[in-house]
A and B are shown apart, each in its own frame.
Chain A
Amino acid sequence: MFAVSPFVIATSRDEAELGMVFKIFYYHMPSAWMFLLSAIVCGIASLRFLFSGDVRRDRTAVAAAELTVLFGLITLVTGPLWARRSWGTWWIWDARITASLVGWMIAWSYLIVRKYGGPGSDKLAAGLAIFGMANVPFIYISVNFWRTIHPATSVVPTLPVDMSWRLWFCVASFTLLYVLLFKLRVYLEEERSRVDTLYLALER
């Protein structure tokens, strides 16, 4: 599905003011949704890890944090490429864009704390992930509350059918890709945990 998506997008028509560059939207919006979804998954898994101490939740949170960084990066790079043509500038300190940058940096800080924080960093990072999750509703609704030039959430329902099915096709592709990468990343964490167990067994 993901491999087919560029061909599906290539055959779509252009938007009035933005022309061809509007087609960035077909990847920008699904990646932004995956970015927000991943931050929520990371936050919920971290909450459950903090309250239950279940290390499986911790592995889920690590996998989700890494994907938050990946999809956040895609969102934050494709957005300015679109903005350059539509707003005449690469970046503006708009409420949604700034909040997205903050959310992305929280996910980065989660990974940095996990890597270099030493013992106990898992719980400290879990706290960061909860802040990252709390930022998600703010990112989503900010365009409806503050006056900003970023398109509002009402744009998607107004798309004509021939464009909206293409968008939902890309959303489905990105969701499946997210699930696949997430499972792969969780599997990597599980294998790492097995290696740690074997190292401990050898040292005994």
Chain B
Amino acid sequence: MRFVRSVFVILVLASPSAVAPAIAYAQQPAEQQGAFVPAESLPQRERMPAAPLLVAAYAFVMLALFGYVISVSRRLTAVKTDLTRLEGEIRRTGRG
């Protein structure tokens, strides 16, 4: 009985050290990517469809840049119109 009790105590005391590496492994954050890994060796089932995200990203980039160019050209047109009007007014009034 005494032997069984000491084995039980030893097991209880030793169990955290046996489980600790497993817990530490489970608690590890996702690995940071430090190098390029080629795709050829992967099975097809592991390649999740990514086309919608890719298309959304590229569409957004194109729209943002196109929108910005339009915005700048509209502002430039407005400024040019102002400039022409003011230069005409100055010529007419003889100021400046």
Contact = CB atoms under 8 A, between A and B. Distances in A.
A12 to B, nearest CB: 11
Interface residues of A, number: 53
Given A15-B39, A78-B57, A85-B48, A152 B34 contact: yes
B61 A159 contact: no
B53 A191 contact: no
B79 A154 contact: no
A198 B83 contact: yes
B89 A28 contact: no
B32 A147 contact: yes
Main secondary structure of the interface of B (DSSP, over half): helix
Interface residues of B, number: 42
A82 B33 contact: no
Interface of A: 6, 13-21, 23-24, 27-28, 31, 70, 73-74, 77-78, 81-82, 84-85, 87, 143, 147-152, 154-155, 158-160, 163, 177, 181, 184-185, 187-188, 191-192, 194-195, 198-199, 201-202, 204
